[in-house]
Structure 1
Amino acid sequence: MKKIVFVLLILFVSNALFSQSGRIDYLIKLDSLSFKDNGKFKERLQKMKEYASNQKFKLSFNTNRSSFEYIESLSSDPSFNESENIIARFAATTASDFYYDRIENREIQKKNDGQLVEKTNARVDWVIGTESKKIDNYLCYKATYQESYISRKSGKKEYTEIVAWFAPILPYGYGPIQFYGLPGLILELKYKNTTYLAARIELKDDTVDIKFPKGRTITEDEYNSRLQSSAGAVLLTRKKAEKKEQK
């Protein structure tokens, strides 16, 4: 209990002392992937892992807003393949950019296809513990969240644990992808098989303007419904083509 009170005290003091905005660059670390298929997919999965491990993301923030975006790769490697890189983003990291307004409690997700998906009253029920460690000389505390999902195998609700390490001395409730709401910046986040690690932390005394993407937004349910319709149309077209070939 004393540790939690101490954390809150640090948060109160630092709110008055620290800069108005900043940027964090994150590197990617992947857990060992289990290659169930020993055939041609093993090589493909290994390639995906290599591309994902070399990706970088940036979190820009001010007191009221944040953006989490992919840092475009300028690879000098002649074998670099942007299509493979995009597949790795879909499979291992994220193919979307995220924008969050703390005052309005509103999140906009810019999908890979350019569609803007809006979520309001987004909330993550973090459980903050007393376990701590230092990241780049910042004292961080561990927080966990149980995210629910429907299992494809059982069709039942199951949970995956998200682990975040946040720094109370950096009093901004932002973090990678769609995870925020802690009393401090998230400097490390483990989500499924992927860990986002803060590699560069830059704080500024002036306020950086965080611009949200412009355009029509839709809800997450609407977006998922469109994806299902598109997938169904593709499947129908494929079946028709197969029937023609059989004739």
Structure 2
Amino acid sequence: MKSLVLVFICWFISFNLFSQESFESGEVIYSVKIASKSNFENPLKRNDFNGFRKKMDRFSETVSYRLKFNRVSSLFSVNLDMTLEKEESFSKLAKVLTKSDHVYFVDFRKKTLIEQKPFFGEDFLVQSSTSDLKWELINETKVIGSYTCYKAKVKRKRSGPYKGEDAYITYIAWYCPTIPFNYGPFEFCNLPGLIIELSIKNRIYRATKVVLKKEEMKIQKPSKGKLVTKEELESIGKKAFENR
């Protein structure tokens, strides 16, 4: 508990020092690494998995993500160099697994998230609240690059017919209190510092470049698609699935 108090003291001090530096915005580049390992007993299945894993590793090397932010909002999107475009079926699956066709906009003042995403052949802007991220701050630190980061985790319920522990996914974040912007990859935000690393299942998103700016960067809100809530999108998906 004492260490968590120190986190907030550190954040408060760094925020004041940071404010004196007058940084108004910034940009982060994240790389993604697929961390899964084969555990198939069947040699044929193991070979198939290893082949897929090698393709995913090659694909992940071509992908990076950009987070742009200022004091009131952020935008997270992909930088994609498709070297595997010839393998169309694999490319589509890889895009789904890495969410490389989604855009995430966070409004810090309104505590809202807008996710721009394709769904059943259409584009949607899915609006939700960022307040459902009930982070647990953990007494653990590690150095990532030149940043001392603190650990946090959040457990969220999965959609679908899952039961018990399988019904939840635990996300692990490492955030840096000395960079007091409350943003991170995808929809993950609201920590007392910038998220430098995020683990989602077998994928690790890690900041490879952080640039802070004294001038305010303009963040453009995504506008491609129909504005809906999560519940409305689920209803649309259910009807589309039934019609098919």
Common fold by TM > 0.5: yes
Q: Any conservation in 1 of the 2:130–2:187 contact (CA below 8 Å)?
A: no
Equivalent residue number for residue 10 of structure 2? 10
Q: Which one-letter code corresponds to 1:64 in the other structure?
A: V
Task: Note closer, same or farther for the CA distance 1:72–1:46 as it changes in structure 2 (3 Å cut).
Answer: closer
Query: Structure 2: how far apart are the matches of 1:33 and 1:93?
Result: 21
Normalised by the length of structure 2, the TM-score is 0.83
Give how far 1:156 is off: 8.3
- Conserved? CA contact 1:123–1:181, under 8 Å: no
Cα distance in 2 between the residues matched to 1:137 and 1:233: 53
Q: Name the aligned partner's letter for residue 52 of structure 1.
A: S
Q: Output the CA distance in 2 between the equivalents of 1:227 and 1:48.
A: 28
Tell me the residue number matched to 2:210. Answer: 201
Q: What is the correspondence of 1:46-65 to structure 2 with a 5 Å cutoff?
A: 46-65=54-73
CA contact under 8 A between 2:105 and 2:113: conserved in structure 1? Answer: yes
**Per-residue deviation at 1:158?**
2.4
* Partners of 2:127 and 2:85 in 1: CA distance: 33
Aligned AA (1:101): D
Name the amino acid aligned to 1:71.
Answer: N
Q: Cα offset for 1:177?
A: 0.8
- Report the counterpart of residue 110 of structure 2 in structure 1: 104
Identity of aligned residues (%): 28
Q: Which has the larger radius of gyration?
A: 1
Mapped partners of 2:6, 2:147: distance in 1: 15
**Cα RMSD for the two superposed structures:** 2.6
2:42 pairs with 1:30: no
Change (3 A) 1:82 1:202: farther
Q: Which region of structure 1 is more displaced relative to structure 2, 13-22 or 202-211?
A: 13-22
Determine the structure 2 residue equivalent to 1:181: 190
After TM superposition, list the pairs within 5 Å mapping 1:66-81 onto structure 2. Answer: 66-73=74-81, 77=83, 80-81=85-86
Of the three residues 158, 183, 192, the one matched with 1:149 is: 158
Task: Confirm or deny that 1:231 pairs with 2:241.
Answer: yes
| Number of equivalenced pairs | 231
Q: CA deviation at 1:229?
A: 2.5
Q: Distance in 1 between matches of 2:95 and 2:242?
A: 23
Give unmatched runs, 5+ long, in structure 1: 235-247
- The reply to whether residue 219 of structure 1 matches residue 223 of structure 2 is no
In the alignment, is residue 85 of structure 1 matched against residue 91 of structure 2? yes
Pairing of 1:116-155 with structure 2 (within 5 A): 116-120=125-129, 122-149=131-158, 152=161, 154=163
Q: Look up the match of 1:245.
A: none
Instruction: Give the CA deviation at 1:214.
Output: 2.3
